[in-house]
Amino acid sequence: FFLFTLSPQGFDPPHQSETRTVYVANRFPQHGHYIPQRFADNRIISSKYTIWNFVPKNLFEQFRRIANFYFLIIFLVQLMIDTPTSPVTSGLPLFFVITVTAIKQGYEDWLRHKADNEVNGAPVFVVRSGSLVQTRSKNIRVGDIVRVAKDETFPADLVLLSSDRADGTCHITTASLDGETNLKTHYSVAETSVCQSVSRLEALQAVVECQQPEADLYRPLGPENLLLRGARLKNTKEIFGVAVYTGMESKMALNYKCKSQKRSAVEKSMNTFLIIYLGILLFEAVLSTILKYAWQAENKWDEPFYNQKTEQEKNSSPILKFISDFLAFLVLYNFIIPISLYVTVEMQKFLGSFFIGWDLDLYHEETDQKAQVNTSDLNEELGQVEYVFTDKTGTLTENEMHFRECSINGTKYREIFFFVSCCLILPYFFSFQIGDELLFLKAVSLCHTVQISYDQPDCLVGGGDPFSHANVSSKYKLLHVLEFDADRRRMSVILQTPSGNTVFYSSAFVKGLRTLVVACRHFSPKEYIDVDRRLNMARTALQQREEKLQEAFSYIERDLQLLGATGVEDKLQDKVQETIEALRLAGIKVWVLTGDKHETAVSVSLSCGHFHRTMNILELLQQRSDNECAEQLGRLARSCENVLYHGLVVDGASLSLALREHEKLFMEVCKNCSAVLCCRMAPLQKAKVVRLIKTSPEKPITLAIGDGANDVSMIQEAHVGIGIMGKEGRQAVRNSDYAIARFKFLAKLLLVHGHFYYIRIATLVQYFFYKNVCFITPQFLYQFFCLFSQQTLYDSVYLTLYNICFTSLPILVYSLFEQLVHPHVLQNKPGLYRDISRNAMLSFRTFLYWTLLGFCHAFVFFFGSYILMGEDTTLMGNGQVCMFGNWTFGTLVFTVMVITVTLKLALETHFWTWMNHFVTWGSIAFYFIFSLFYGGIIWPFLHTQDMYFVFVQLLSSGSAWFAIIIIVITCLFPDVVKKVFYRHLQPTIVIWSYKLL
C-alpha cells in the first residue's frame, strides 16, 4: 500500500519503522529537527571485488583452500628453521598459483563490473532545479522525479505521477521480470495526473508514505501505480514518476540472493583427497622422525667427526629437536600435496569455457545469440546434474499466443485468419453481424488491455487512422477495468455503449488450451452507480485494500450471460519435447516451476512431453490445513505402489503446507515421480523448492533454468544456474552461471559439454595425485638409505620445476581436448550420461587405484634404478669408468619418472590432436634440453654446483639408457595389456566409438 499526500511546505508525516517516507523532488521539511531517512543509492552491484578489497579478499578466499594454506605454512617453516630444501621450492610455486588464480578471478569480476557499469551508467533524465537534467542511472536518489520515454527501461521502482496520455495511463511490458510479454496498463496518481510538464512537477509538493522494500514481485505497493525497475515503457511517449525504491532495494534486486561462491562436486572431492594425502604426509614425516631417533640410538650409527653436534645442539631441548626434525621431514615430503593442481584446474576451466561460446550448435541464428559462460568454475558440474528445475513461460514456450478456435452459442469456429487483421475486419463485422455472434465479437474486442500503436504502418490503411473508415458509432467509453489476478482467474471491463447504456464484459480461464470463457452483463443506471461507488471505495481504502477489492469484484462478477469461449495456444519452443525426453533418458528428473494456474501449466506439461498421456497424474492442490495436507500426501504415497510412472502436480499454497510439517513425506512422494509440476509459484518459493532438493540426504546436483527476474532466486540457489536469453531483459542472464538462447540447447550443454568437462577434470585430478605420489615416494624411500639424514634425492631446481614445467602442459592440453566418446554418440545415446553420474570417476575406488598405481611406479623407479645401477660405477662412452653419486642416482630416478608419467598420460589419451603430440613429446624433449643446459654451465648465483656435468655423464652411460628403457617398459607394460584386453575382449559403445574419432 501507499499513501500519496499533497502537502504544504514543512509537512512532516510521522515516521514508522514499517514504512518509509518519500518527499517528492526531495523537498524536505524546513524545521531543524527533521532527520532525513537514509536510502540505498541506485547502483546495481553483481561483482564481488573492488580495487581496494581485491587483494585481501582474494587472498583470503584462496588461502581457504587446503593446498594453498598448507604450502603457505610450509613456506613459513622453511623461512624459520634450517630445512633440507630452499624456501624457493615452495614459495615460487605458491606465488605462481596465487597469481594465476587471482588474474583469472579478477578478469571474470572485471566482466561483471563492465556489465554493472553499462547499467549504472545508462543516461536518464530527472527533474531538478526547474529543468530536465540528464544524469546517470546510478545518481538517481529516492524522491527524484524521473522521466522515462517510450521503449526505455525504468531505472528504479517509480510511482507513476503522470503520462502524456489524457487519461494518465501508460502501458508497460514486464518480460524481463516475469517473462510475460503482454502489455500491462498502469495508472498515474489521480492528484498528479495533470502534472504533465516540468514546471508543474517542479511546483509539486507531495509526500509518499509506503511500505519498506519487499521482494515479492506480485505484491507491489500499488499494482496500478508502481512501475518496477527492469520493466519497459510501451505505446506511451513519456511518463514522469517519483523513485521510491532504488538500487539494491528495488524489487528486481531483492529477488537476487547474495552471490555465494559455488563449489563443484569435483572440488569437494579434491579437498577430501587432499586431506587424505595430508594424512599420508604426516604419517611419513612422523615415521621418518621416529626411525631417525631409533637408529641414532645405536652406537654403530654415531655421527662422523666432520658432522659432530655443536655444544648448542647437544644442550638443546629434545622435544624442540624432535619438532624441528619433524618439520624438516614435512618440508622434504611436502610435494606429495600437488599445489599446482589448483592452478591447472583454474586454467582448464577458464580456457575450456571458451568451447561453449564457440560451439555453433549452441548458436541461435535468428537472434544472433551464442551461449555464454559467466562462471567457469562449474563446467564439470554440467556433467553431474540430477534435477532440472525449469520455468515455463518464455523458457519452454515462446510466450507468443496463437488463436486456434472459438465457440459461439455452441457453434465451433476454427482458425483460418481470424484476428490476424483484427483491426481491419471488426468494424465490418459490427456493420452486418447480428445476435450472439455480434455480442461475442464485441466482448472479445472490448474486454482486454490491448493497446493499438498508431505509429505502426503495417496496421494502417493509407497511413491513416485504422478506424477512419468505420462508423463513429462503433466507439465505446471505458469506465472501469477489473484487473486479472491469479485467484479470480479473470479480468473484466465496464463500458458505456454509444447509446449510453452500461455493459459489463468478463473473460475467465478454464481447462484445455489457454481458454477464455466470455460473458456479459447489462447494468441499469442505478446498478452502475452502486458498482462505481463500491469500486472507488475499495481502490482508495488504506486498510485491507486487497480484501475490499476482492469483495467488490465478487459483487460485480455475478449473474453473467455466457456468450462463448476462445482457445489460444502458447507456442512451444523448438525441440522442447525432444530435449525433455533426452534429459529423462539421461536419468535427469525435470521439475517445472511456474507462476501459472493449474490448468494452463498441466496443458503445457502434456504438450511438451513433461507429462505423458499414459502417466498417472497425482495432485496436491488447494490444501487448507496441515492435517488435510498430511492425509492427501499419505494417499499419494500409497498410490505410488501400483503404477510405474507418476507425475505430481502441486500448487504454491499446498507446497508451503507440505514443507512446513511434512517435508519427509512430500520428498518420499516426489522420489517416486518421474516428473513434477509446481504451479502458482512465487519467485522465492521456487528457490525454496530447489533448496529442499539440493539439501536432501542424497545431496543431488541441481540445475535451474529460466528467463525472467522472477527466476533469478532459483537460478542462484541451484548448483548450476542457466539463463535463457529472452526477447527483453537480461536479469536471468546477468545472474546465471551460463546463458543459452533456447531451451533445446540444454541437451547438448549437459550431455556433451558436461560429459566432456567432467571426464577431463576427473582424470586431471586423479593424474595429478598419481604423478605427485610418483614424485615424492622415492624421496621417502631414499631416507632409509641415508639414515634419515634429510638428504634430498632431487636437486632444488627439479623440485621446483617438476609440476610447473616438466609435467604441466600435457595434462592441461589433455583436459582441454580429450573426447572419450564422440559427441554424436553422446547426443544420440543420452543413457551414457548415467555412467558418470554421482561423481563416478572420482569415487574412492578410482582414487585408490590411481594412488596405489603411483606408489607402485615409485617403487619401480627407485628400486629399479638402485638394482640396475647398484654397483655405483658406469662405463662412459670414452671407455673411462665413472663413479655414480647420489645426485646422479637422483637424476636417473627423476628422468625415468618424467618419461613414465608423461607416457602414462599418453596411454590415457583417446583423442589426439597436433597440440597433444606437441606438448607430450615436447615436454620430454624440454626436460632433456633444460637438464643439459642447467648442468652444463657453472651458475655464479648458486651457492653450490652439485648438478654440474651430472646429466651429461648420465646420458653418456649406456647402462643408464638401458635402465631408463627397462624401467619405463616395466611400469607401462601392464597398462598396455589392460587396454588391449578391454578393447578386444570387452567391446562396449565406448570402445567402438573410438573408431569414429
**385-403: per-residue pLDDT in tens?**
999 999 887 788 877 777 7
* Whole-number pLDDT of residue 992: 40
Percent above pLDDT 70 for the chain: 83
pLDDT at 419 over 50: no
Q: Is 240 annotated as a binding residue?
A: no
* Whole-number pLDDT of residue 643: 62
Query: Which residue's entry shows cell 558440474?
Result: 381
C-alpha cell at 333: 615430503
C-alpha cell at 390: 525449469
* Whole-number pLDDT of residue 753: 95
d(CA 685, CA 679): 11
pLDDT at 604 over 60: yes
* Structural contact between residues 545 and 1, judged by C-beta atoms closer than 8 angstroms: yes
* Structural contact between residues 755 and 834, judged by C-beta atoms closer than 8 angstroms: no
* Whole-number pLDDT of residue 462: 42
pLDDT at 211 over 60: yes
Q: Is 711 annotated as a binding residue?
A: yes
pLDDT at 833 over 70: yes
- Cβ neighbors of 629 (< 8 A, separation 6 or more) are 620, 623, 654, 657, 658, 661, 662
* Whole-number pLDDT of residue 464: 47
Q: Is 970 annotated as a binding residue?
A: no
* Whole-number pLDDT of residue 543: 74
Beta bridge partners of 494: 480, 504
* Whole-number pLDDT of residue 997: 34
What is the pLDDT confidence band of residue 360, given thresholds at 50, 70 and 90? Answer: very high
Q: Is 167 annotated as a binding residue?
A: no
pLDDT digits (tens, 9 = 90+) for 105-158: 888 888 888 888 988 999 999 988 878 889 999 999 988 889 999 889 899 999
What is the pLDDT confidence band of residue 465, given thresholds at 50, 70 and 90? Answer: low
pLDDT at 428 over 50: no
Which range is least confidently modeled, 405-414, 815-824, 972-981?
A: 405-414
* Structural contact between residues 62 and 102, judged by C-beta atoms closer than 8 angstroms: yes
What is the pLDDT confidence band of residue 771, given thresholds at 50, 70 and 90? Answer: very high
pLDDT digits (tens, 9 = 90+) for 877-930: 455 545 566 788 889 999 999 999 999 999 999 999 999 999 999 999 999 999
Which range is least confidently modeled, 302-316, 370-384, 412-426, 592-606?
A: 412-426
* Whole-number pLDDT of residue 421: 37
d(CA 555, CA 41): 44
* Whole-number pLDDT of residue 925: 95
pLDDT at 321 over 60: yes
Among the listed residues 590, 671, 656, 670, the one whose alpha carbon sits nearest the alpha carbon of residue 621: 656
Q: Is 393 annotated as a binding residue?
A: yes
Secondary structure of 8-45 in HEC code, one letter for each residue: CCCCCCCCCCCEEEEEHHHCCCCCCCCCCCCCCCCCCC
pLDDT at 340 over 70: yes
Q: Is 484 annotated as a binding residue?
A: yes
Collapse the DSSP code of 243 into the 3-class scheme (helix H, G, I; strand E, B; otherwise coil) and give the result. Answer: strand
Q: Which of 391, 570, 651, 737 is catalytic?
A: 391
Segment 706-734 mean pLDDT: 82
* Structural contact between residues 436 and 455, judged by C-beta atoms closer than 8 angstroms: no
Pairing of strands 561-572, 397-408: antiparallel
* Whole-number pLDDT of residue 13: 46
* Structural contact between residues 390 and 706, judged by C-beta atoms closer than 8 angstroms: yes
What is the pLDDT confidence band of residue 740, given thresholds at 50, 70 and 90? Answer: very high
Segment 8-37 mean pLDDT: 66
pLDDT at 673 over 60: yes
Q: Is 247 annotated as a binding residue?
A: no
Q: Is 686 annotated as a binding residue?
A: yes
Collapse the DSSP code of 543 into the 3-class scheme (helix H, G, I; strand E, B; otherwise coil) and give the result. Answer: coil
pLDDT at 843 over 60: yes
**Domains in the chain: ranges and CATH:** 124-255 (2.70.150.10), 339-354+751-995 (no CATH), 365-397+572-745 (3.40.50.1000), 404-423+436-447+474-569 (no CATH)
What is the pLDDT confidence band of residue 458, given thresholds at 50, 70 and 90? Answer: very low
Segment 473-499 mean pLDDT: 80
* Structural contact between residues 884 and 963, judged by C-beta atoms closer than 8 angstroms: no
* Whole-number pLDDT of residue 123: 92
* Whole-number pLDDT of residue 942: 61
pLDDT digits (tens, 9 = 90+) for 48-98: 888 889 999 999 888 887 778 888 888 888 788 777 677 777 777 788 888
pLDDT at 370 over 60: yes
Among the listed residues 292, 314, 70, the one whose alpha carbon sits nearest the alpha carbon of residue 791: 292
* Whole-number pLDDT of residue 306: 52
Q: Is the dihedral of CA 325, 890, 90, 286 positive or negative?
A: negative
d(CA 75, CA 298): 34
pLDDT at 806 over 60: yes
Residue 648 sits at the vertex; the CA angle it makes with 644 and 652, to the nearest 5 degrees, is 170
Segment 283-311 mean pLDDT: 74
pLDDT digits (tens, 9 = 90+) for 615-667: 888 888 888 788 888 888 888 888 776 667 788 999 888 888 888 778 888 88
> Phi then psi for 751, rounded to 5 degrees?
-70, -30
pLDDT digits (tens, 9 = 90+) for 525-565: 888 999 889 888 887 776 777 788 888 888 888 888 888 88
Q: How many Å from the N-terminal Cα to the C-terminal Cα in the chain?
A: 64
pLDDT at 412 over 50: yes
Collapse the DSSP code of 121 into the 3-class scheme (helix H, G, I; strand E, B; otherwise coil) and give the result. Answer: coil
pTM: 0.77
pLDDT at 749 over 60: yes
CB-facing half-sphere around the CA of 261: CA atoms within 13 A: 14
> Phi then psi for 683, rounded to 5 degrees?
-55, -45
Q: Is 710 annotated as a binding residue?
A: yes
* Whole-number pLDDT of residue 933: 87
pLDDT top residue among 620 and 703: 703
pLDDT at 769 over 90: yes
What is the pLDDT confidence band of residue 180, given thresholds at 50, 70 and 90? Answer: low
Q: Is 392 annotated as a binding residue?
A: yes
CA 617 vs CA 583, 611, 673: distances in Å: 20, 8, 9
Q: Is the dihedral of CA 619, 623, 629, 635 positive or negative?
A: negative
d(CA 916, CA 691): 42
* Structural contact between residues 227 and 153, judged by C-beta atoms closer than 8 angstroms: no
Q: Is 595 annotated as a binding residue?
A: yes
pLDDT at 795 over 60: yes
Q: Is the dihedral of CA 934, 935, 936, 938 positive or negative?
A: positive
Among the listed residues 372, 392, 397, 396, the one whose alpha carbon sits nearest the alpha carbon of residue 721: 372
Percent above pLDDT 90 for the chain: 24
Q: Is 141 annotated as a binding residue?
A: no
Q: Transcribe 403-465 into DSSP letters.
A: EEEEEETTEEEE-SSGGGGHHHHHHHHHHH--HHHHHHHHHHHHSS-----TT-GGG-STTS-
Secondary structure of 567-612 in HEC code, one letter for each residue: EEEEEECCCHHHHHHHHHHCCCEEEEECCCCHHHHHHHHHHCCCCC
pLDDT at 579 over 90: yes
C-alpha cell at 635: 494417499
d(CA 416, CA 435): 22
Q: Is 536 annotated as a binding residue?
A: no
* Whole-number pLDDT of residue 592: 92
User: Annotated catalytic, 178?
Assistant: no
* Whole-number pLDDT of residue 357: 92
